[in-house]
Structures are given as C-alpha cells and as structure tokens.
Structure 1
Amino acid sequence: MCIRDRSGPAELARRARTELAGAVAVARWAAAQQGLPGIPGREAVARAAAALGAAPDQVRADWDRARLVGLVEPDGDTVRPGWRLHAWDHDDTAVLRGWVALLDAWTLARPAPEEAEPTAVAEVVEAVPQLLSLLQLSAGPVPLAGLLDLLEQRVAELRTQHCEVPYEASGTGERPAEPAPAQDPGVPLPALLDWALDAHASVGALVVREGADGRREAELTALGNWAVWVKLEQICVAAQSPAGNIEQPAADMLRGCARLTPGPARAEYRAWLAARPVGSAVTELLDAARGHDALLRGLAFEALRVVGAPAEAAVRAAAEEPWLRPYALLWLFELEGGDPEDALRVLTRGEATWLWVDTGAAIADHGESPLLVRHLESAVQGTVPALLEEVRAVGHPRTVQVLVALAAAHPDPVLAKTVRRAAFQVHTGGS
C-alpha cells in the first residue's frame, strides 16, 4: 500500500529552499563572478567565505550541493548560472526536483569510506531503497537495530543472487562448486549503515537521534517522506500497469513503450526509473542509445527527459559521442529552458542532417510509409536536391536504407526516382 504524505507542494518547496539556502547563496555569489573555475581554488573559496560570512569548509560543501542540484552548470573550464537558479524563487516544482537531484546523488554528497570494499558499498547502495521504504511505511522512528537487520538480510539476498549459477551452465547437470566466500568488506555493515544514514541526513531526507529508550533511531523528514512516497507510488502504478516494464532491461523497456502514446510512455519511464538507482538507470539508458536501433536511441532520450537534472553530467559526456551528440545537445537545450521552436538551432547543419537520417532509420524500421513521407517535410534543407546532397555528405551508415525506403514510400514517381538515384550513388560511392 502506498501512503500519501500530508505536506503540500508549497510547504515542501519551502523546506527544500531552507535546506538548500547555503547552496543558493554560493550559486548567486558565483553568478556574479566572471569565469569562476568549476572547482574553485583556495582564493575563490576565501573570497566567497568573506562575502557570505561562512566558513571555507561550509562554502565548499555548499558549492558541491549547488553543482549537484543544477544551480550552477559547467561551461568548459568554468561555470555559469543554471536554469534552476533563475527559477528558484518562483517555481516550486523546480525547487523540489532540484532537491530530489541532491537526494539521488547522496553517494556523491557524502562519499563512502575509502577503506570500504567497493562490492560491499554497491550492495549497501542497492539495499538503501528498501530501508527508506521501511522508514516511510513505518510512519515514525525506526531503531537502527531494525534497519541493520533488514540491511543484513538484503545484502545476503543480493550475494546469493550474484553467486547463483544454474545447473545447466556447468554442462553436466551436476551442482557446481560452491562460490568463494565473500571478500572482507573492509568496513563492517553497521558502519556502512551509519554512512548511508548520515549521507541521507546530510541532504535533509532523514534524522538520526537517540530515542526515549536510549537506542539510536532514524526517521524520515517531511521532504524524505514525500520523496520516498513518490517513488513508492510510481512502483505501485507500474505494478498495475498493463505494459509492466518495470523489471525489464532498458532496451526491452523502451521497445515495450514504442507503441504507447506520450503520456502512458512517460508513466512507464517514471515507474522504471523509480525502481532502480538513478545513476545505473541513466547508464543503462545511454547504453541502449548506443545500439544499432535508432528508435531506441530516440526513446532513450525521451526517458532521460523524465530523469531531468540528475542525468545532466552523463548527457554532457555523451554529447562528445558522434552518434549521441544531436540527441544530447537537444536534451541539454530543453533542460536549460530553451524554446522548443528554437531547438534545432543548437545543432550544426551536419548534425541536423545526421539526426534526420537517424530518425528516418527509426521510422523505416518501425513506422509506416506515410510517416516516412511526412519526415521528408521536416528536413531543414529547403529543397530535395539540397537535402540529398547533404545527406550523402554526413556519412550516416543507414543512409542508403533510409533513401530506398523513402523512394518506395513516396507517391511522386519523379521525386522517388531522384531519391532512388541518390541511394544508388551513396551505395556505389558515386557522385
């Protein structure tokens, strides 16, 4: 059962603004500077601390938060004010999404102990959503001993899943050898639980205190309760959804959403994202976008639009990859609040043409002939000869298939012949 938090959006946004007041102050100070480095040096930190009346360590912490929330954004070697900073005072939704971005980045806000074994850290990170669900459903403080019991159970389940080998994999039908014992985690689970709780407390999602009986206990804040409820509700919706893609890998989930209209598709994306850590979900979506299926490439970036700001760093990195660059640049333009009618202006002519071919490949593989004919009308070139000349120049590997499919679909025999000739020239390397 999904339990609804009683705090309204305006009150939650007020709490988020209070939680992030230091980050906003640093971001506004940075916005007034010219060419501030992405990682401020000692001199810049000292100037900010003097201007804001804060300790240098606090300035550094607030600066990290400002970057994670999207209040400042990288611009080469420097930073600039993010769109969220401009919307901060009047857009409650932008504020709440910014705080959720910080919550999703809790492992960056408070890194794991250096001596902790990476596998153990990954297991705890994977188990944290279940701990938060227990806190939310308990609707009150939970002793840390109870959270530790649940963590130990979940980690044991994960290790069993990771070590499980089907009998038939051995080729003999016999039980395979027992897996090697798990590595020494370096840091025991109680300490890793403390780390996870401390990290969530540092972003304002929960509090840890001593209870009336002297035992330590944890309880979600109003913001934490709301955030966990939102994710639980999304999972509940997914469980009732006819599409039922929540347990599928990214590529299969995207294929399952291909025939849905935009509204139901976004609901599926939200449910799928809610069921996994945001970092691994973004990585999986970008991996799907790198495949050969152009339709999945477009759908992956639609799903990343649902992720929003937490995906920004990964999408900026993806913009350096030729196959993903046009999609990534459009995604970043929309994230920054650009007018959709001006979106194509962020692409070079070659990038826009490459995107036209890639989208045409998606339609040719999965769409219908009328869609491909209408796609011709969306080209940025003013004439068909100009389009065909530039299509040949961009070197998209699917150019021939797209032109052949377009020629077969177009009702104008003269134009179809022209397109077919262009496809032949690309195929043979002629001009």
Structure 2
Amino acid sequence: MSASRFRPARPAADGPRLGLRANLPQFMLLVAVNALVGGMLGQERTVLPLLAEDVFGLSAYTTALTYILAFGATKAVTNFFAGTWSDRFGRKPVLIAGWLVAIPVPAMLAWGPSWEWIVAANVLLGVNQGLAWSTTVIMKIDLAGPERRGLAMGFNEAAGYVAVAATAMATGAIADHAGLRPAPFLLGAAYVALALGLSTLAVRETREHARAEAARHRVPDGAEHHADLTTGQIARRTSLGDRSLSSASWAGMVNNLNDALAWGLFPLLFASHGLDVARIGVLAALYPAVWGAGQMLTGWWSDHIGRKHLITAGMLLQALAIALVAHGTTFSVWAVSQILLGAGTALVYPTLLAVVGDVAHPSWRARAVGVYRLWRDGGFAVGALLAGAIADLWGLTTAIWSVAALTAAAGLLVAVRMYETRPGGHAPAPR
C-alpha cells in the first residue's frame, strides 16, 4: 500500500488549513495551556504522599492512596465525556469548563482540615485534568493533520510532563523550607488564574479543522468507511474490537498504573530509607522530566519508523526501571531508575495517542481519544487499589516487583497483538 493513499488532499483555499506550520501560533498556545494542566498535577507529586503520613497520620497504604483512586477514577470517566462533549459543543467550551472546575483545588489542598478535603480536591482535579488535558490533545490533533500527528502529541505530552517535573521539584524545595502546607500549593492557584485567562481570551475553536480533514479523509484500500459509528460502537472498537486500539488502551492503562505507583508509593519508599524532602523532590521530578522532554523526540521518531516497536520497547524499559526501584536502596540507584522509567514512558506516551489518531476516523476521533483516555487514566485507580493492597499485605517492595511484572506483560501483549498504524507504514486495514 502506498503512502499516498493516506495523504490528505490539498485543502480548499477558503477552508481551515491543517499542519503545524499553518497553525503554529495556536498550537504553541495550546502547548502552554497544557503545561499549566501538567503543573496542576505536579503540585501534588512530592508533597501529598508525605502529607498523608506526616500531617494526617495515615499509616495504611490503601487508605493513603485514596486521593489517587479518587483522581484516577474521576479523570478516567471525565475523559470519556470530554471527547463526546468536544464533538457536540466544541473544544473550547470544554477546555474552559475544565479550568473553572479547578478554581477551588489549590485552596482545598493548602487548608483542607481533614483527609476527606484532600480526596474531594482530587475529585475536582480529576475533572480538571480529564476536560483540559483531553481537550488540548484533541485540539492539537485537529490542527496538526495526519502527517505530523506523532510530533504534535510529543509536544503536547512533553509540555505537560516537563511542567509536572518542574512543579514537583519546586514544591519539594518550597516544602523543605516552608513546610508541607500551604506554601507549595500557591503555585497551583497561579496556574489556574493564568490558564483560565488564556483559554477564555486567546484559544480558538478547532472543531472545523477536524471536519475539514473528515471531508477529504481517504480510506486505505480494502478498509470499510467507518465514518458513522455510534458512541457505543466506538467504545467497543477502541476497547476490544480493533487490535491496535484495544492494545493501546491496555498499554495506556498499565502505563498509568505505573504512574500511580511512582506518585503514591515511591516517595514513601525513598523516605523510609532516610531521604529528606528535597532529595525526594529531585527523584519525583527526574522521572516526569525525562518523560516530558523525551517525548519531543519520540513523537517525531514514531512518525518516521512507526508506532508499534517504540511502544513495545518502552513498556519493557519501564518494567526494567521499576524492578531497579525495588532492588535499589540508594539515591544514585533510584536516580538511574527514574531516568530509565522516564525514557520508557517517553517512548510509549505520545505514540499511543498517535495510534488512536491514526486508526480513528476524523469524524469520531475525539470520542475514540476519550475512550482510550478512559482506559489509560483508569490505570491510576487500578494502580492505587492494586499497589496499595499488595503493599499493605506484603510490603512496598513486593508491590513494586508486582507492577514491574505486569508492565513487562503489557509490552509483550503489544508486540504480539498490535499492528503498525503509522500512515504509509503498510499497516493492514483496521478491523
């Protein structure tokens, strides 16, 4: 099959133009907005696990991880509706709604009088992340067109997770000097104000770009024209029916299960070996920093060599890194493990989103992204329950080894089941 069968026709002179160069100002604005979305998540990465233990006295791991469970479950469900609402009402209103929901979150984290307030704040944070992050993903896919989709997702995810890393390190340093509350969470308040202003005043709607791409979308030889699917059919296709979409959904869920482990239990493991808050903050930042910065390369790379092998390699590298965390006992060993974990995640994260963008028809792509992100961010909830329960029964190290084994299994599943989806990559027709 020739690459030209996937290449969109030249846009009409009076229609929306696709491509990064044609839409660079809006694209970079959305990159900045997504960095602020990531910063909202980063304000918790170092401080909240320590807050659970030191301020609220939660000793059971399962109980301490309830905030991740609340966040992950809410974000997963919100992702699904974000895709549907983006198709129905437009991308920009959904983005603004996500930032309106985030307004009380920093204050609840900074001054909440009980652990229930922290869990409630993470419910709102899950809604914020589900609406705002999903929408920036969809809008960048709309603008980029098919030929630079991997690069677009690399920029999107890089911005978000570099901001996670920078904020995690910043809040760790602030907490080391000013205490765990309230000072670290004032960064989050600034992020909300800036992002809400940009989203309301500067971001433009991109739904017409998706419609323009759909109007000239070319179907590969031998494939059916799946333009008119119901939301239920899209959910089944993304979850089970299509080999690449469903493999991406499973790999995404395991990837974020890993992230729940890194977010909730790694700081407690590091603290149990005598590391101070500042050094825990450095470790908490290393993983998303490498993850974030690496995605600018890996997203571009997947546009040139394909998606499947990068995802397989990334999942196996993550498994190795998590095993190294379980095996290690020193700052230097854990620093290496966090770098490897970030590199493995960078190989996987934008590439999985590019797979969804490759396979899904433009007319239902936003909903497919929502279903994929439902599964992917459900991994936070699964990770909180699974890792917390194993840690309570058999200890932190056993929980970490168990997740390493599960991650390796996910990589092997991708290697066996996923077909190559890159446009021009001689992929079989989607089923």
Q: Normalising TM by the smaller chain, what interval?
A: under 0.3
**Per residue, is there more strand in 1 or in 2?**
1
Question: If the length of structure 2 is used for normalisation, what is the TM-score?
Answer: 0.27
Q: Relative contact order: is structure 1 or structure 2 higher (C-alpha 8 Å, sep ≥ 6)?
A: 2
Question: If the length of structure 1 is used for normalisation, what is the TM-score?
Answer: 0.27
